[in-house]
Structure 1
Amino acid sequence: MERKWWHDSVVYQIYPRSFNDSNGDGIGDLVGIIEKLDYLKELGIDVIWLSPVYDSPNDDNGYDIRDYEAIMSEFGTMADFDRLLDQAHERGIKIVMDLVINHSSDEHAWFAESRKSKDNPYRDYYIWRSANEDGTLPNNWGSIFSGPAWELDEATNEYYLHLFSKKQPDLNWENEKLRQEVYQMITRWLDRGIDGFRMDVINLISKTPGLPDATVPPGALYGDGGQHYINGPRIHEFLKEMNDASFGNYDVLTVGEMPGATTDDAILYTDPERKEVNMVFTFEHMDLDSGPGGKWDVKPFDLQKLKENFTKWQVALHEKGWNSLYWNNHDQPRVVSRFGNDTTYRVESAKMLATLLHLLKGTPYIYQGEEIGMTNVAFESIEDYEDIEIRNMWKERTEQGASPAELLRAVHVKGRDNARTPIQWDATEHAGFTTGTPWLKVNPNYPTINVEQALEDPDSIFYYYKQLIALRHQHDVIVYGEYALILEEETDIYAYTRTYENETWYIYCSFSQEEVTVPLSHDTSDPVIGNYSESPAGSKEELVLRPYEAIVYRTTR
């Protein structure tokens, strides 16, 4: 496989609204990010993925874009952005932007024109339909944010499609003129000097012609339209065209967020010969604790299913494509609360989960605060939550008679605001995030979990992440080595090997709160990294792992 700069890179996602507020208005901003670049340089990351900073009415925290080539005033100015780009580059850190082109804001100039009349030149930039003859909606699709996926616009008495919020109308990718405008916009950002794109729900841009009705899941009010827009009929054509017309002409990173993509899909999307995208974000491992009722139907974490899933992706894409590796992002709850132990063994389990992920093959992504072991938050009232997905779900399900107490418990476990509470910089008021009132409450545990504390403790989660990042930069076995699952039947242990040329690394990760003994079949004289200060007990034949222990051994032949 041809070596690329992003193969051994580590990406750090910044959710600007919650990162660092420089002016006391309670909202993080671009100058606030500039103030913390030296912190990120100390961590050792190579790339910042910046969640949307474009001009937006902020219905979905910036994922509803009003102007793709302007900066949201709350975050600063384009001059601030250019300064961030320059200062990051001076430190050897690249900047990847979010690219949200399945939909725009309903306040975008294109949509303002589109809704004026049925014969407006911009009408076909969006997906409009009349009601059916019986007066029902154009089809039965449900919105991913609850409710129907159609909104009536009274000016022309037609409906527009919105897979997400009604303020996020879907763009019509069948329109070639629209596509060319998007590609030109992408190119202008690349010419500005950015280093790539994370492409929001990019595999939803191609819809089945005719937009047919979908199957209605048991107990649901609307059809699951995903069967008609996930990995749609023209998606590969559109991505190849986009690559040829824009980012394919630059040495940049492209990662497509692709819900519902299988390993077979991912091989097609990421095969370098096909020239579509460099890597994809899969969602499968993020759904392992979801029951038949979906995201809010929380079920216990199953390590065996995680092992099966990661192994499937590692093996399938080896030498064929490229994996992205992540536990957390702005849409996912905190992993130490989700798959680890955020109380007694918070530090140990956070380090263990980091070990497991960062020694896999692919490009790792760290979400802000993950490197200090930030946890989920359990606000007492639904009024404390800001996320549109949470609020829409709450309204729909309480109207159907669901128990508010049970819904709140689900929000505590799976709500997106778990990831969006402000970064905990220190133990001062509002965790040092702002001198004002934060847009979203800070997690109350900030006096004991914060960056200042982590930097003062040589055994902190922060410095462990720094070690893992350095290892990836130093060892080809992590970047290009072949993966193999071992100890497959062990129910509390995830163990695997990475092999490259004459070197094999053995990675052991315990998910148990008790000691676990596992068999050994290799030399343990060369430990690489572990999350306990002393080596684990055992003998030549077995290893005794302490609660949430991670240990890595290197062997050569």
Structure 2
Amino acid sequence: MKKTSYFIWLCVVAGSLFCCKQSEKEVQIQKAKEPINWNNEVIYHVMQRSFYDSNGDLHGDLNGFVEKLDYLKQLGVTTILFTPLYESDFYHNYFPTNYYNIDPEYGSKEDYINFVKAVHEKGLKFLMDMETQYAQEGNIWFDDSYKNPTSKYSDFIYYTDSLNQYPEQIFLPARSPLFNFKAWPGESHHIVILDLNQAPVKNWMKEFYLYWVDPNKDGNFDDGVDGFRIDHIMDDLDYKGIITSMYADFWNPIFTACKEVNPNIFVLGEPANWGKYGADMVTRSGADASFNFPLKFALSSKKASQDMFEK
């Protein structure tokens, strides 16, 4: 009889602990879903490669940022925005070879998750920088499909011919020979345009962005980004007239899906046309804010500086 009572008591205690643990997790999830006023955020935009190096390899890295989070808080920073983290042969990482992998010079995927959790533990937020309209050689979609029309990745790269010999390239006219874009320190690489008209590519990209919102899909966003900066966002990609209506047809479904998972996801678009204010982009794509380059140029002009000091 005593053994039976002892067993029942253990079950009750264990069950209570389990319920408490669940309750704490539910509180964390609920807290993450509380509305954020992004107008009050102080965003620190930094190229992580040039920040703090934690292991002496002369590259700033994720662990270096973890070590300096208190310093950033003392500066008044509330949100950290990097340049892209994914693998790339370019020092700035804007043209990926592998979208999901973290550049090893910044750390591992585990280092990344630990960084995001540390950011949130400090009461800070993290925005991820993305430019996913392009790929470079070294990316399997291009490497496997170039001059190989039977490749299962042929739909992922925008080719202008049936033999996959002429991929569309950033900044270049159609059917241009593959161009070597220079990269530091003296290297050169090809940059090709993804076929963002294709449904498989759109679906792949949607899942890709959703991954960073909640990497382990547990509904707790302590390991997920708080938003994205979209680099070089355009409605007609590179004004080529081949991938159009991107705000409504490509970006809006992605942003909507991300906000369905985490309503607090913040999207900051960087218009490729620096002469525009970005209002059309925000309205049609579902982004939350835009870089205001015309205002920046006006404020930094010689006349604006003179007016400021004279007044």
Shorter-chain TM-score bucket reads 0.7 to 0.9
1:126–1:160 CA contact under 8 A, matched in 2: no
Cα distance, 1:280 vs. partner? Answer: 1.4
Q: Residue 43 of structure 2 aligns with which residue?
A: 11
What CA distance in whole angstroms lies between the structure 2 residues aligned with 1:241 and 1:228?
22
Q: Residue 405 of structure 1 aligns with which residue?
A: none
1:101–1:202 CA contact under 8 A, matched in 2: no
2:52–2:65 CA contact under 8 A, matched in 1: yes
Which of residues 67, 74, 78 is equivalent to 1:46? Answer: 78
How many positions carry a matched residue from both structures?
A: 261
Cα distance, 1:261 vs. partner? Answer: 6.0
**Cα 1:230/1:172, change in 2 over 3 Å:** closer
What CA distance in whole angstroms lies between the structure 2 residues aligned with 1:109 and 1:142?
17
Q: Which runs of 5+ in 2 are unaligned?
A: 1-34, 216-223
Q: Residue 81 of structure 1 aligns with which residue?
A: 112
Q: Residue 14 of structure 2 aligns with which residue?
A: none
What CA distance in whole angstroms lies between the structure 2 residues aligned with 1:197 and 1:86?
17
- Greater percentage in helix: 2
Which of residues 191, 194, 198 is equivalent to 1:171? Answer: 194
Q: Return the letter of the residue paired with 1:238.
A: F
TM-score, normalised to structure 2, is 0.72
Q: Given the alignment of the two structures, is residue 90 of structure 1 paired with residue 100 of structure 2, yes or no?
A: no
Cα distance, 1:49 vs. partner? Answer: 0.6
What CA distance in whole angstroms lies between the structure 2 residues aligned with 1:234 and 1:75?
31
Q: Return the letter of the residue paired with 1:81.
A: Y
TM-score, normalised to structure 1, is 0.42
What CA distance in whole angstroms lies between the structure 1 residues aligned with 2:111 and 2:256?
30
Q: Residue 290 of structure 2 aligns with which residue?
A: 280
**Cα 1:198/1:138, change in 2 over 3 Å:** same
What CA distance in whole angstroms lies between the structure 2 residues aligned with 1:172 and 1:122?
10
**Cα 1:14/1:228, change in 2 over 3 Å:** same
Q: Given the alignment of the two structures, is residue 113 of structure 1 paired with residue 123 of structure 2, yes or no?
A: no
Q: Return the letter of the residue paired with 1:182.
A: M
Cα distance, 1:196 vs. partner? Answer: 0.7
**Cα 1:60/1:176, change in 2 over 3 Å:** farther
1:151–1:166 CA contact under 8 A, matched in 2: no
Residues 48-447 of structure 1 correspond to what in structure 2 (within 5 A)? Answer: 48-56=80-88, 58-115=89-146, 117-130=148-161, 144=171, 152=177, 166-192=189-215, 193-203=224-234, 206-207=236-237, 226-228=238-240, 232-250=244-262, 251-260=264-273, 266-271=278-283, 276-284=286-294, 302-304=301-303
**Cα 1:62/1:229, change in 2 over 3 Å:** farther
**Cα 1:253/1:161, change in 2 over 3 Å:** farther
Superposed CA RMSD: 3.5
Residues 467-546 of structure 1 correspond to what in structure 2 (within 5 A)? Answer: 492-493=306-307, 509-510=308-309, 516=310, 518=311
Cα distance, 1:235 vs. partner? Answer: 3.0
Cα distance, 1:148 vs. partner? Answer: 6.3
Q: Residue 439 of structure 1 aligns with which residue?
A: none
For the residue of structure 2 that corresponds to 1:200, the secondary structure is strand
What CA distance in whole angstroms lies between the structure 1 residues aligned with 2:175 and 2:92?
21
2:116–2:225 CA contact under 8 A, matched in 1: yes
Cα distance, 1:143 vs. partner? Answer: 5.2
